[in-house]
Amino acid sequence: MTRVLATLAFAALALLALVPGASAMTIEKIVSPAGIEAWLVREKTVPLVTLNYAFHGGSSQDEPDKTGTAHLTADMLDEGAGDLDGKTFHQRLENRAIELHFRVGRDEFRGSLRTLNEHRDEAFELLRLALTAPRFDAGAVEMVRGQELSGLRRDTTNPNDLASRSWWQTAFPGHPYGRQSKGTLESMARITADDLRDYVRRVFARNELTVSIVGDVDAKTAGELIDRAFGGLPAKNDLKAVATVSPGGLGRRIVIDVNVPQAVVTFGGQGIARNDPDFMAAYVVNHILGGGSFTSRLYKEVREKRGLAYGVSDSLVWLKRTAVVIGGTATRADRTGDALAIIEAEIKRMAENGPTPEELAAAKSFLKGSYALSLDSSGKIAAQLTQIQLDNLGIDYIQRRGAMIDAVTIADAKRVAKRLYGGGLLVTVAGQPKGVTSSQ
């Protein structure tokens, strides 16, 4: 076991140093014998194979009274499958140092696998079992449910969770995006093993499956591995329709009373869809306002000049049926009003005047130069390829991205800044902020 772990660690370090740069990367579109499409990046310098994939249908497929079903399913898939109980399944993973992960977003159920080449057959077989024959044994379900409930109890007094939860519920009332992906104390208690099986039956299918694979593997072998993992799934999923929606509550401020030393602020508004022609300009502008960790306007004004918070940022979030710009910070209760006033003033200033030419040039340079950091390991490459496919950006997007950023003009940036930040904010605050009250 120690030898296997050491080999995997060495291979991972070697791959981090040797993965091809963005400009040199060759992405192949392959089709497995069963007809499953995938993107492949061959990397022969280290004996690793990394898989990343996504099924359409994340937590938005949960029943309204059983939110958390997708989340519980993800946490249960490695707790036994086929003839293997949970303990045996985990031992098989650990004995071969196989990394198998599952996670849930609002629109997709995602997973990843990483293994040494010598163990790839066993790794893909374990993934096949997890996806096609999960056991959902009663004892394992109750054990994992107990862990989830413990986390949910902690969240009831967690200001970060409370502010975020209130923001999404207010922005999307009655919509799947407004529900809590992790569920609630009440909904988690209602979920049965049959609910988990039903989720798997409806979501895990081949027709809306996105797959990326990176490593020391050729196209023929990659196709065979993909079929081993996914070939036994149903041909078509059975998803519930999710309505297109825009965030509501803009102009409102909601204060949630919780006895903590700091106040947590979540703020956001209407975003811009990933397929919108203005998206890249919005991406650059958002970096200038709040996306740059240490260079953004919000960081400079809130932290550097006034020391009101350790950090403050915002980001673009695009989902299948909506898009938002959302950010947050945490500050002393007696300075919450000051911090919030500065944030709102900077957002208004950006909407009215846009960025300066100097800010635009610096943001472009950073966004182009830093992109390589998202491609410096097999896992990151595979995840990026999956996201590019989900966003329908084209197999040559990595090569085109720099030119798309360069094409953003100062006129574009000013116009899109008004569009992005001129529509008002929904603000939620969790804590006991002095002088900050709810407003309709």
Each domain of the chain, given as residue ranges in start order, spans 2-12+27-230, 253-431
Say what percent of the chain tops pLDDT 70. 95
281 pLDDT exceeds 80?
yes
CB 213 within 8 A of CB 382: yes
pLDDT value, residue 23: 52
Residue that has been written with the tokens 């975020």 in this structure: 164
CA dihedral for 239, 241, 246, 249, sign (positive or negative): negative
pLDDT value, residue 407: 98
Please tell me the distance from the alpha carbon of residue 320 to that of residue 52, in angstroms, as a whole number: 19
Question: pLDDT-based confidence at 3, cuts 50/70/90?
Answer: very low
- Taking residues 30-53, report their average pLDDT: 95
Residue type, 171: A
Q: Which of 76, 78, 70, 66 is nearest to 54 (CA)?
A: 70
pLDDT value, residue 15: 44
pLDDT value, residue 255: 98
- Taking residues 11-29, report their average pLDDT: 60
Question: pLDDT-based confidence at 438, cuts 50/70/90?
Answer: very high
Residue type, 167: W
Please tell me the distance from the alpha carbon of residue 354 to that of residue 420, in angstroms, as a whole number: 10
The CATH H-level superfamily of 253-431 is: Metalloenzyme, LuxS/M16 peptidase-like (3.30.830.10)
12 pLDDT exceeds 80?
no
CB 129 within 8 A of CB 84: yes
Query: What is the reported pTM?
Result: 0.92
pLDDT value, residue 427: 98
pLDDT value, residue 21: 52
What rounded mean pLDDT belongs to the chain? 94
241 pLDDT exceeds 90?
yes
CB 48 within 8 A of CB 15: yes
7 pLDDT exceeds 80?
no
| DSSP single-letter state for residue 439 | B
Question: pLDDT-based confidence at 13, cuts 50/70/90?
Answer: very low
Please tell me the distance from the alpha carbon of residue 61 to that of residue 119, in angstroms, as a whole number: 34
pLDDT value, residue 2: 41
Within 8 A by CB and 6+ apart from 91, the residues are none
pLDDT value, residue 22: 52
Taking only the tens place, the pLDDT of each residue in 100-119 is: 999 999 999 999 999 999 99
Taking only the tens place, the pLDDT of each residue in 132-157 is: 999 999 999 999 999 999 999 999 99
Residue by residue, DSSP assigns 68-134 as: THHHHHHHHTTSEETTEEHHHHHHHHHHTT-EEEEEE-SSEEEEEEEEEGGGHHHHHHHHHHHHH-B
- Taking residues 63-88, report their average pLDDT: 97
Residue that has been written with the tokens 């502008």 in this structure: 285
CATH fold of the domain at 2-12+27-230? Cytochrome Bc1 Complex; Chain A, domain 1 (3.30.830)
- The reply to whether 253-431 shares the fold of 2-12+27-230 is yes
- Taking residues 258-277, report their average pLDDT: 97
Structure-block tokens of residue 284: 């650059």
Question: pLDDT-based confidence at 164, cuts 50/70/90?
Answer: very high
Beta-carbon neighbour count of residue 277 at 10 Å?
A: 10
Please tell me the distance from the alpha carbon of residue 27 to that of residue 189, in angstroms, as a whole number: 45
Question: pLDDT-based confidence at 440, cuts 50/70/90?
Answer: confident
CB 421 within 8 A of CB 351: yes
- Taking residues 363-378, report their average pLDDT: 93
5 pLDDT exceeds 50?
no
